[in-house]
Amino acid sequence: MVTRAGIVVTGTEVLTGRVPDRNGPWLAEQLRRLGLDVGHVVVVGDRPEDLRATLSFLAGLGTELLITTGGLGPTADDLTAQVVAEFQGRPSAVDPALEGRVAAVVERLMARRGWVADPAATAAGVRKQATVPAGATVLEPVGTAPGLVVPPADGRAGPPVVVLPGPPGELRGMWPAAVAAPAVGAVLAGAAELRQETLRLWGTLEAQLAATLREMEAELADLEITTCLREGELEIVTRFPAQAQPAYDRFAGLLGREYASTVFSTGPTLDELVAAALAERGLTIATGESCTGGLLAARLTERPGSSTYVLGGVTAYANGAKEELLGVPRAVLAEHGAVSPEVARALADGARARFGADLGVGITGVAGPGGGTDAKPVGTVHLCVVGPDGAVAERALGLHGSRSAVRDRSVTMALHLLRELLLGGPPA
Amino acid sequence: MVTRAGIVVTGTEVLTGRVPDRNGPWLAEQLRRLGLDVGHVVVVGDRPEDLRATLSFLAGLGTELLITTGGLGPTADDLTAQVVAEFQGRPSAVDPALEGRVAAVVERLMARRGWVADPAATAAGVRKQATVPAGATVLEPVGTAPGLVVPPADGRAGPPVVVLPGPPGELRGMWPAAVAAPAVGAVLAGAAELRQETLRLWGTLEAQLAATLREMEAELADLEITTCLREGELEIVTRFPAQAQPAYDRFAGLLGREYASTVFSTGPTLDELVAAALAERGLTIATGESCTGGLLAARLTERPGSSTYVLGGVTAYANGAKEELLGVPRAVLAEHGAVSPEVARALADGARARFGADLGVGITGVAGPGGGTDAKPVGTVHLCVVGPDGAVAERALGLHGSRSAVRDRSVTMALHLLRELLLGGPPA
């Protein structure tokens, strides 16, 4: 029997897209590891009646644990704690000891930033944040807002509600305390382990895979399989209870044989594969980017420990910069134009030479929306990777979509080119 | 009377956080411009019963327009069209003309990528994607999947459901056709314009603002005000019907006077302000980054037309690269260490000189999780901007949070430093 959880993300700023929700997905993954299956993530604005209706909806579905994020600030539109208290039938009151601790945190914060505020206004905000439903477990603030675990009032049925703050750093810092709360522990005790495995294919049509899955249908009863096509990569994620491990192993083995020429990973992401290959082989890398403007360097250095293999990179938007900083010959620029395989090669060679790296990557193209011509329309991108032993991998792309789509896809393709050069597998 | 819409994002890959939802926020903004108010964005997995329950929940709230995204692919877990058809009480059948058009799209796509697939498998996927509820409006595919507008069956009550594909480029390309469908037009005809204005403050405590809002409460009846604190920026977004414009103007005027020293924008984002200042004054910029690894260059070049003012940047992770590519003196590195105000200054000077730019930005720090010391813990970051007339703005930061939080916040602070140097206003 699956134990289900529901997540409610509050905040008009999330609902209207001004702030992306980083909490729902993170919580869904934490809950999965604890054996809980998340059925819904609901984003609602700062309106009490919408939040109330959502809590009722999820509780009515048989959800055994509810989690809310956001709406714990000092302003009037932050109303989660109050709505949850009413939903669970518990009266609220100021917790004086908590009020003192929150006040101390706010004072420290203001001192560090050098901000000043009216003491009465600050005190009112603190009092609001220290107002707690009777019988709730208080989760100590990581920022200024305390979290809560609020079980239904005695004699009432329904799931406990975990009330967490909106800022992702605060929420994550508070999570261990939430999991340790007695009301949450009681739910987790009934949850069974739920495993998750991933296969990644490059160069297989989703419809082809669908046919394979239909043929195997009888053997897949205990596996929950979802496929997702993203930037050309076909990702197959399977979730299953521990006892279905043999069934998954048979499934993965079969797919591995059927799609031997396109499976490039049995778990790690493209970024993880490239990083591991560089680190394990002690190779260093440098980038020479034009249209992607530093995105490849930023993506390579996103990973902790990347300073052991990333030496650096040059973003050379202007032609002068391509010549000066990466030694792209003026004659090559004049003859072939900045967007050409020759310049991609020269950028890769230049990055490799200037940084003294084992590998160099060059990217040049037209990201748009302006700058396209008949011969080189928006989306024309040339990639080149030069390897340690003189190996070269090149690729010309004709991409579609927005400026950000062209830039993102170019960086992903450069990583596939690196993967191909370092590890073999399906061609980029 | 407000006309409300609800958005349902389907896909286990979104629910579990493997893919961020880019459609919900975008649709919420489009709907707002059309005068519709979005009450909920619900993310559900690829399970028919969860999708069905969500459609019922939203329709039961009096929602007048429902939009679904995703679940239109050729695999068995793509079930949105079928569930919506049943929900609206309409039988489905293959549309042979549409089947032909989808087949042609799939063939072109495979040819371009050089992929091969079993013709029977491909045909089955195409047939699935061309299966349409009776009486629905078909939205021509932008990728391979057609969209749908499905009104309730004759004699039934309830909102029409707009069924859109998951890939953001396809969804956006299809949106004009969805808005033009008769069933959607009928809903929009009843919607009134809903305006939205934004004020941005830097250096005001949220609790202080809350006190001001409480004092003004009587005058704010027609304004829906939400405040959001993000990376130190306090964003005040107000939504109101057209007739409340004078009330908003009074509110904005009052806040502008009360918070004159911290309001830095009456609309544009930080990035937009910096880009406009550079473009309007004909200034060029170059970056010298260490711990942010190209993120600042990538963020500056995200904007269309940025090539007129961004000359380029160097990511210098290794000390050798700082010396070679940006001329940071070895003695400065040895004496002060790579993470120091002196090196931030040298990176800014070096970037400015090497690229021949009007402005140079230098960033050096410890992004973590490793590399921290007692004297320079993780989160220590030094920023420097050198301007055209020898003006210099510097800042030392002690940031908290993850590697990505430290990198993102450093880039945001560098943009505030640029804003301060170019435009004045609250100090970074």
Residues 297-356 of A with CB under 8 A from B: 297-298, 300-302, 304-307, 310-318, 320-321, 324-325, 354-356
Full DSSP string of A51-69:
HHHHHHHHHHTT-SEEEEE
Task: Report the percentage of chain B scoring pLDDT > 90.
Answer: 72
Second-level CATH architecture of A270-423: Alpha-Beta Complex (3.90)
Q: For chain A, where do the domains classified as CATH 3.30.70.600 start and end?
A: 196-265
Residues 16-55 of A with CB under 8 A from B: 16-21, 24-26, 28-29, 32, 38-47, 50, 53-54
Residues 52-111 of B with CB under 8 A from A: 53-54, 57, 61, 73-77, 106, 110
pLDDT bin (cut points 50, 70, 90) of residue B406 is very high
Structure tokens at B75: 């695999």
Candidates A315, A347, A361, A397: best to mutate against B (most CBs of B within 10 A) is A315
Q: What is residue B324's three-state secondary structure?
A: helix
Please check the confidence at residue B360 and state whether its pLDDT lies above 70: yes
Structure tokens at A335: 């003859």
Q: For chain A, where do the domains classified as CATH 3.40.980.10 start and end?
A: 3-188
**CB atoms A287 and B315 under 8 Å:** yes
**CB atoms B42 and A38 under 8 Å:** no
pLDDT bin (cut points 50, 70, 90) of residue B1 is low
Number of Cβ within 10 Å of residue A232's Cβ equals: 15
Strand pairing partners for B383?
B363, B395
Structure tokens at A356: 């003294």
Give the CATH superfamily of A196-265.
Answer: Ribosomal protein S10 (3.30.70.600)
pLDDT of residue A290: 97
Choose among B365, B362, B407, B361: nearest CA to B231. Answer: B407
Second-level CATH architecture of A3-188: 3-Layer(aba) Sandwich (3.40)
Question: Considering the domain B194-265 in this protein, what is its CATH number?
Answer: 3.30.70.600
Please tell me if residue A2 touches chain B, with a CB cutoff of 8 Å: no
Rounded to 5 degrees, what angle do the CA atoms B341, B344, B348 make?
140
Give the CATH superfamily of B3-189.
Answer: MoaB/Mog-like domain (3.40.980.10)
pLDDT of residue A1: 55
What parts of chain A have a pLDDT lower than 50? none
Chain pair A-B, CB pairs under 8 angstroms: 349
Choose among A260, A277, A249, A235: nearest CA to A387. Answer: A277
Using one digit for the tens of pLDDT, what is the confidence trace for B163-218?
999 988 899 999 999 999 999 999 998 887 788 899 999 988 788 888 888 888 88
Question: Which of A311-327 are b and which e, b meaning 16 or more Cβ less than 10 Å from the residue's Cβ?
Answer: bbbbbbbbbebbbbbbe
Residue B318 Cα, gap to closest chain A Cα (Å): 5
- A133, A139 contact by CB (below 8 A): no
Q: For chain A, where do the domains classified as CATH 3.90.950.20 start and end?
A: 270-423
Residue B389 Cα, gap to closest chain A Cα (Å): 22
By Cβ distance, the residue of B57, B207, B293 closest to A121 is: B207
Give A-chain residues touching B321 at CB under 8 angstroms.
286, 311-312, 355
Give B-chain residues touching A301 at CB under 8 angstroms.
293-294, 315, 317
Give B-chain residues touching A405 at CB under 8 angstroms.
169
Using one digit for the tens of pLDDT, what is the confidence trace for B71-119?
998 877 789 999 999 999 999 999 999 999 999 988 887 777 667 778 8
Give A-chain residues touching B207 at CB under 8 angstroms.
74-75, 106, 117, 121-122, 124-126
Using one digit for the tens of pLDDT, what is the confidence trace for B243-264?
999 999 999 999 999 999 999 9
**CB atoms B401 and A115 under 8 Å:** no
Please check the confidence at residue B329 and state whether its pLDDT lies above 60: yes
